[in-house]
A = this chain, B = another copy of it.
Amino acid sequence: MANPVLPSSGVLSPIGLDAVRLSPGFWGDRAALNREVTIDHCREWEEREGWIGNFRGERPRRGREFSDSEIYKLLEAMAWAGHPGLPALAETVAQAQEGDGYLNTRWSGSRYTDFEWGHELYCYGHLIQAGVARLRTHGEDLLTEVVVKAADHVCRRFMNGTETCGHPVIEMALVELYRTTGTERYLEMARRFVDRRGLPALADIPFGRGYYQDDVPVRQAQVFRGHVVRALYLASGVVDVAIETGDQELLKAVESQWERTVARRTHLTGGMGSRHADESYGEDYELPPDRAYNETCASIASVMLAHRLLLATGDVRYADLTERTLYNMLATGVALDGRSFFYANPLQVRVPAVPHDGVNHAAEGGLRSPWFDVSCCPNNIARTLASLPAYLAAGTGDGIVLHHFTPSEIRHGRLAVRVETGYPWTGSVRVRVLEDGAGRIGLRVPAWAADATLARVPVSAQDAPLPEGPVVRPVSPGYVHADGPWRAGDELRLELPMRPRWTFPDRRIDALRGSAAVERGPLVYCAESVADEPPLGDLTVRAEPPVERPAGDGAEGVVELEVAASLGGSGSKDGWPYGAADAPGDGGDVRLRLIPYHRWGNRGPATMRVWLPTR
């Protein structure tokens, strides 16, 4: 089946990417842009930067020690998207593979001399994920040959011993290769990599072993910690190993770590990571809006993990976090043109970008960058958008469940439905049965959706006048279900209330004290100020109901908001910013425009803030 995650058991079962056809709409548009623009954009940059040339033996070798992995992520994206450029790129990669399966353009000649920072197993992990995608969308070919040879090399070299890689990802890759090929040594190798971690397996470093989750064994950890992408890739692999080995204790450990991490180490956007120095979580309740790191890749890793936990348990919390992360992180990481990217995703930006020659390589201050020295994020976005349908729906015993609502057609088992919706701009979701069929249809009512309603409208009743018309019933957050049989034309109509709402932080989040944010549906909103005019530095809002407005740039359907604010009062503490209690700002009252966070950074250098100081 064409799907990146195929566990052999679980409450929910994956359905094939080809079973979900995206139509124009929020995600359909983004998937199309990715297929048509972003994938080629990535390939062009990887060629230009010499990272592809490394595989042809061009010297001097260029790029960071892990640059091979970017080409592999891109190959995975190409595989899921059915991109015609895959065979040629795979052929280039194959040139660099050595006779025993070893493949790495940086460390050939000094193999396995730096497990802490060398990233060799990390690169194999991404290579294997690309191979898995190819096997599941196409079948065996040169790429999959390379991948199997590399995986066999890894198993020979590492099955016995105590070594593992400073950057996890090999674990989930090997389990997926096992799931596809049935070769049990891949699972066993993954299991051993998981078990070795934290014994410890790696050297101590200035960041501490927690940086690469080698401080304690996975089973004993209480929370995700250290480098966020490493932590979440590892946890994803741990879930995969737990599922395939039936290790309930291991699964529970990850669930409990996830729970504390979401409760204490996650930003409102679903982003994770509060420290720039080591791209790490930081401590419980350390959630600064300005220095939030929230790496785009970390959000993708978070979706990968939550998806695995959702399939395993069916617990709606995992889908809720996935929705938050998709709409506010994945959609933010790439610009509306598909060619520029955020690496970090802070919730407050105080100074507009100062681009050099029109380019802002740091991707700070409201301008995305077309590329990075470490360009994991663009390729990671490409492979995720290319496989997005995997996350939208799942199979149940006798039916389907829709986690996320976007215009699409879904076929699974004896069910074929069309989803029609303006979500996330409107809260009306219509699920129309396309052919006579049977099976239960489940719909997720998001955690934020109080007062939602569901109506079942048989095709026979669609023209009937009230009171013979459809019965509308209130539904609570969680999954709601409707059972078949179904006639073609039958409909489920879900109404999610799309009132903007003020959201306040837990008292323990010191960095957000005295401020509030606005959300509407699954979207987090923010104030964006181009060139910081008007200035957002000394802002106060009144938490009165926000007013809905059409988008300032005319984008169809997009909902913007307005709130009452006072802007740009002069600071009271002259010369020294601490002293007697402050007087209220003397800035004039204004109507402050809020836009969806994922749409910020498309208007040039700007300041921005999600959390708004309240009176």
Which A residues have a C-beta under 8 Å from some C-beta of B?
206, 208, 259, 262-264, 266, 268, 275-277, 283-291, 317, 348, 350-351, 362, 373, 447, 502-511, 513-515, 517, 537-538, 540, 569, 571-582, 585, 611, 613
Residues of B within 8 A of A511 (CB): 288, 290, 510-511
A-B contact sample (4 more), CB < 8 A, given A259-B575, A276-B277, A285-B537: A263-B576, A289-B510, A503-B579, A510-B511
- Docked-complex contact B507 and A576, CB < 8 angstroms: no
Integer count of this chain's copies in the complex: 2
A273 to chain B, nearest CB (A): 12
Residues of B within 8 A of A373 (CB): 206
- Docked-complex contact B290 and A286, CB < 8 angstroms: yes
Complex Cα distance, B580 from A505, in Å, reads 8
- Docked-complex contact B506 and A577, CB < 8 angstroms: yes
- Docked-complex contact B515 and A577, CB < 8 angstroms: no
With A262-B575, A263-B574, A510-B613 known as contacts, the answer to whether A350 contacts B580 (CB < 8 A) is: no
A213 to chain B, nearest CB (A): 16
- Docked-complex contact A508 and B577, CB < 8 angstroms: yes
- Docked-complex contact B513 and A285, CB < 8 angstroms: no
Residues of B within 8 A of A575 (CB): 259, 262-263, 317
With A275-B291, A291-B288, A613-B510 known as contacts, the answer to whether A505 contacts B577 (CB < 8 A) is: yes
- Docked-complex contact B291 and A350, CB < 8 angstroms: no
A245 to chain B, nearest CB (A): 29
- Docked-complex contact B503 and A578, CB < 8 angstroms: yes
Residues of B within 8 A of A317 (CB): 575
Complex Cα distance, B519 from A391, in Å, reads 54
CB nearest neighbor in B for A613: B513
Residues of B within 8 A of A287 (CB): 577
With A537-B285, A572-B507 known as contacts, the answer to whether A578 contacts B613 (CB < 8 A) is: no
A270 to chain B, nearest CB (A): 10
- Docked-complex contact B517 and A578, CB < 8 angstroms: yes
- Docked-complex contact B350 and A504, CB < 8 angstroms: no
A591 to chain B, nearest CB (A): 21
- Docked-complex contact A571 and B507, CB < 8 angstroms: yes
Closest 5 CB pairs of A and B: A506-B577, A514-B514, A513-B514, A276-B277, A277-B277
Complex Cα distance, B510 from A540, in Å, reads 11
Residues of B within 8 A of A268 (CB): 578
Complex Cα distance, B317 from A576, in Å, reads 10
Among the listed B208, B509, B540, B579, which residue makes an inter-chain contact with A504, where contact means beta carbons less than 8 Å apart?
B579
- Docked-complex contact B613 and A507, CB < 8 angstroms: yes
List 19 contacting pairs A-B, 8 Å CB cutoff, sorted by A.
A259-B575, A263-B576, A276-B276, A286-B350, A288-B511, A290-B510, A503-B578, A503-B580, A504-B582, A506-B572, A506-B573, A507-B538, A507-B571, A508-B537, A508-B571, A510-B511, A510-B611, A514-B514, A517-B578
Residues of B within 8 A of A515 (CB): 510, 513
CB nearest neighbor in B for A265: B577
CB nearest neighbor in B for A516: B581
CB nearest neighbor in B for A279: B277
Complex Cα distance, B509 from A510, in Å, reads 12
- Docked-complex contact B350 and A284, CB < 8 angstroms: yes
With A507-B572, A507-B585 known as contacts, the answer to whether A577 contacts B285 (CB < 8 A) is: yes
Residues of B within 8 A of A286 (CB): 290-291, 350
- Docked-complex contact B288 and A288, CB < 8 angstroms: yes
Complex Cα distance, B195 from A134, in Å, reads 59
Among the listed B208, B509, B517, which residue makes an inter-chain contact with A577, where contact means beta carbons less than 8 Å apart?
B509
A506 to chain B, nearest CB (A): 4
CB nearest neighbor in B for A207: B362
Complex Cα distance, B540 from A441, in Å, reads 49
Residues of B within 8 A of A580 (CB): 503-504
